[in-house]
Structure 1
Amino acid sequence: MLETMVRMEARMTQWDKERKIFEENVLSILEHRREEMQETFSEQNEKLQRMFEDYKDIRGELTNRTNHLEDLAENLGDTPVVAFNAYTTTGDRSYSDNQMIILPYVLLNEGGGYNNNTGFFTAPVSGLYHFSAHICENDSKYMVVSIVHENKEIAITTEYESVGNSCSSVSAPAVMNANERVFIKSAYSESLLHGDPHYRWPSFSGYLVNKKSSE
């Protein structure tokens, strides 16, 4: 009987040891899983935080772009239509240096800025304008033209062919105050401007890009 009790006690002691080992293993596994879950949670939290920051940045950028588009739309809505296009079909006409070129035929004159008697375009409002001139030469002659803003040249081009005739164009922007003038002139002492009704129309044109917001 005593021997049986001793064996039982030894077995129970062994069971306690095995139980403790099992509990320690379970606790170790659970702790490891907890650390893994905590690490995963931290990573997900950081990812969500970055996504939130990106969202704030994108939202701010979209707000800025929306405001910019609204400003552009407001400015465009306040910009009147100012545009002109004048030309000539005269065969050959010689010009001296600094002689003004007047184009008599008007296809477009919104805003009434171009005067086909004087050749001047007078800005009806202050703002940014864009101008272009188209010229043609003939008979191996030079044709040199410049665009002039209030007596200051803002663009110049030369056209020449040794045989036959040809054309070229030049353009330039200009910031103008109301009532300032732009015109085109010959920039060479022996310029020859060529035109014909069917194939070559030397021209002078321009338009208002954007009105100054102060007006």
Structure 2
Amino acid sequence: MIRTEIKVETMVNEIKKTEDNVISTLGDIKRAVADFTDMFADMRGNITDEMLKRGDEIKRREKSLKKRFEETRNNLTSEIDAKKEDFIQIQGKLEQPPIAFYAHHVKDLVFDTANKIFVFEKTFTIEGTGYDTSTGIFTAPVGGLYQFVVHACARYSKYAYLGLVLGGNVIAADSNYDDETHGCNNFGAMVRVNPGAKVWVKSTSSGSVHQLHQNQYRMNTFSGVLVNY
């Protein structure tokens, strides 16, 4: 009987010990689950924060790229429009007829008045419009860079004082005298001329000892050509 009680008590103790071990193990498992749950929650929070940060960074980069794209597109559009305008202007200039004249034979050779305009009344070359053989004045139909040349011959023992005039101002001048023969000189200028500006040849001095000369061997000429727009 005593042995049976001892055996039962031993079994009860072992059962209690086993129960305590089970309870302890369940507690460990519960704590482990709680720790894992907390760790997972932290990881999920960290992952969410990182994803949000990356999302914000992607949005910022996307916004920056869109801005740069718009700026580049606007700049290219402006450049294309400017080039298009330049092309239109160049095309318009290319469509302009050539402008040139070469006139000769002075109507009145005597320097009888100061600032007299010499009229070269005949032409070898007329391209475009501008030179008037009745007045001796060239009126620029378009603005640009022009080359003008005057060839003038003074009668022997007479003086020739001439000036090339642009818009009322002398831009080139020449004096000529020879007491033995009829002497000829060239003078001129390359100058930028505005549309509608006038160019002519005039006397810069006058009197009875001033006179030009022309014959089959000597010609007085006035020429001009548009070199570039």
CA-based RMSD of the aligned residues comes to 4.7
In the TM superposition, 1:74-85 aligns within 5 A as: 74=92, 77=95, 79-85=96-102
- Matches of 1:122 and 1:167 in 2, distance apart? 17
Partner of 2:168: 153
Partner of 1:24: 42
In the TM superposition, 1:176-191 aligns within 5 A as: 176=196, 182-189=199-206
Give yes or no for the alignment of 1:58 onto 2:76. yes
User: Runs ≥4 in structure 1, deviation > 6 angstroms?
Assistant: 190-193
Deviation sequence 1:106-142 (CA, Å, 0-9, x none): 55321475466x671455xx832555433589xxx99
Give yes or no for the alignment of 1:171 onto 2:191. yes
In the TM superposition, 1:29-44 aligns within 5 A as: 29-44=47-62
TM-score (norm 2): 0.55
User: Unaligned stretches of 5+ in structure 2?
Assistant: 1-17, 153-158, 176-184, 213-219
Partner of 1:204: 223
- Matches of 2:71 and 2:206 in 1, distance apart? 67
- Contact 1:83–1:110 (CA under 8 A) maintained in structure 2: yes
1:208 and 1:82, CA in 2 relative to 1: closer, same or farther beyond 3 A?
farther
- Quick check: which one's helix share is greater? 2
TM-score (norm 1): 0.57
**Percent same amino acid among aligned pairs?**
13
Which of 128, 148, 151 matches 2:142? 128
- Matches of 2:53 and 2:66 in 1, distance apart? 20
Taking CA–CA contacts closer than 8 Å with sequence separation of 6 or more, which of the two structures ends up with the larger relative contact order? 1
- Contact 2:111–2:211 (CA under 8 A) maintained in structure 1: yes
- Contact 2:164–2:199 (CA under 8 A) maintained in structure 1: no
The Cα shift of 1:32 comes to: 1.5
What letter matches 1:127 in structure 2?
P
- Contact 1:122–1:182 (CA under 8 A) maintained in structure 2: yes
Q: How many residues align?
A: 186
Secondary structure of 1:176's counterpart equals: coil
What letter matches 2:54 in structure 1?
E
- Matches of 1:188 and 1:203 in 2, distance apart? 19
- Contact 1:83–1:207 (CA under 8 A) maintained in structure 2: yes
Partner of 1:4: 21
